[in-house]
Amino acid sequence: MDKSATNAAAAAELPDTASRIRRVFVDSLGLNMSAADLDYERRLDEYAGLDSLAVLEFITALEKEFGITIEPDLLRLDFVRDLHELAAYVENRIAGMTSSPPDQSA
C-alpha cells in the first residue's frame, strides 16, 4: 500500500493541530479531564504541574503523535505551555519534515 497516500487521507480527517496537542497533553500526562474541556486561551500549565519530567513526557508523546523531532533546547516549560505557539511550531516542523527526504529509520 502507498503509505504517503494513506497518511494524506488520514490527515484530512484529523482534527486541527492544536486540538490534537490538547489530546496528547491530557493523555501523556494521565490527566483525568477531557481534552475538550481544555480552554484554548489558557496556558497548559494551568491544568497540571509541568516539572521537567512531565515536559519530557509531553514532548516525547508529541513527537510520536506528529512524527516529528523537537529540538532539545525546547524542552522547557515556557515553550510547551502556550498551546498556540506550540501548534505553530509543530506545523512548522511537519512542513519542514515533509519538504526534506524522509528519515529511513522512522
Partner 1 sequence: MIFEQFTQTAEQYRNELAIVEGDERITYGQLLDRIASTRGWLRRTLNPEPGSVIAASLSNTRQFVAAFFAVSELGAVFTPCNPQWRAAELRWLVRRLGISGAIAEQQFRPAWDRLGDVVPPQAVLTAPIAASAGEPAAALRLRAGSADAPTLYLTTSGSTGVPRLVPRSHRNLAAGAKNLARSLGIGPGDCVLGAAPFYHSNGFHNCMLMPLLCGATVVLMPRFTPTACAELLRHENVNLLIGSPAIYRFLAEGSAHLTLPSSMRCFSAGARMPEALSKRWKDRFGIRVRQWYGMAEANTLSIDRAPDEQASGAGAYVGSPIEGVDVRVLDADGNALDPGAVGEIAVRSDAVMSGYYGEPELNRRKFRGGFFRTGDSGYFDTAGKLYLTGRIGRVINIGGVKVDPVEVEQAIEGLAGVSACHVDAVTSESTSEVIRARVAVRSGMQLARTEVIEQCRARLAEYKLPRIVEFVDSLPMTLAGKTPAAWTTDEPAR
DSSP assignment of 44-60 equals GGGTS---HHHHHHHHH
Of 10 and 53, which CB lies nearer to partner 1 in the complex structure? 53
When the beta carbons of 5 and 100 are compared against partner 1, the nearer one is 100
Binding-site member from 17, 21, 47, 80 for partner 1 (CB under 8 A)? 47
The reply on whether position 36 binds partner 1 by CB under 8 A is no
Distance, CA of 93 to CA of 14 (rounded, Å): 17
Binding part of the chain for partner 1, among 5-13, 22-30, 78-86, 87-95 by CB under 8 A, reads 22-30
- Region at 20 (left for phi over 0; alpha for psi -120 to 50; beta for the rest): alpha
Which of 36, 56, 88, 95: binder of partner 1 (CB under 8 A)? 56
Contact present, 52 and 75 (Cβ < 8 Å): yes
Sole window of 1-9, 12-20, 51-59, 85-93 interacting with partner 1 (rule: CB under 8 A): 51-59
In contact, 13 and 19? CB cutoff 8 Å: no
Q: Which is nearer to partner 1, 8 or 69 (CB)?
A: 69
DSSP letters spanning 63-79: HHHHT----GGG-SHHH
Segment near partner 1 (CB under 8 A), from 12-20, 43-51, 79-87, 88-96?
43-51
